[in-house]
Amino acid sequence: MTAMPSHFLARGLATAMAPCLIATAGCSWLFVQKRPPPPVEAAPPVQCTSSAAAPILDTVFASLYGLGGAAAVVAGAVAQGGDSLDVGLGKAQIAMGALWLAAGVALAFSAAHGYAAISDCRELKAAQQACFGGFEASCAALRGPGLTERVPTPTQ
């Protein structure tokens, strides 16, 4: 029986794992709605995502993919010291590990995007509530940088 060339094995593993990687691809990029640009009215409340569920999922999967990828790269490097079949499997493990590490980095960026977006959303919603309550300094935050016109509130 002849051994399968390692590049075929690596491509086969990468192809088999691609759907798994795509299935967890960036919940924050897909599901987090950013805050609207200024100026923003004091009422009604803005529609943006303030839940941290998507970035938390991204963080969990980024950690799992990062750890799994690092383990696969180390295991592949160790396997390269064995016989010819181990060398082929080692190359496949290194390729798979690199793919998992890349997915982990992409998910980490997605998580960072999500955390930043929900933080901005929460700040804007808090400013809206304060402005609606009559706190004029919060209304300035709704106008945005360089905008001097008053944001109308329902009490005016």
Which residues does 50 contact at the CB level (< 8 Å), separation at least 6?
Answer: 118, 121, 122, 125
Residue 5's pLDDT is what? 54
Whether the per-residue pLDDT at 1 is higher than 50: the answer is: no
Question: 107 is written with which tokens?
Answer: 């998910």
* Entry pTM: 0.73
Does residue 128 contact residue 143 with C-beta atoms inside 8 Å? no
Percent of the chain with pLDDT over 70: 72
For 50-62, letters b (16+ CB in 10 Å) and e give bebebbebbbebb
Higher-confidence position of 126 and 155: 126
Between CA 100 and CA 120 the distance in angstroms is 30
Give 49-79 pLDDT, tens digit per residue. 999 999 999 999 999 999 999 999 998 888 8
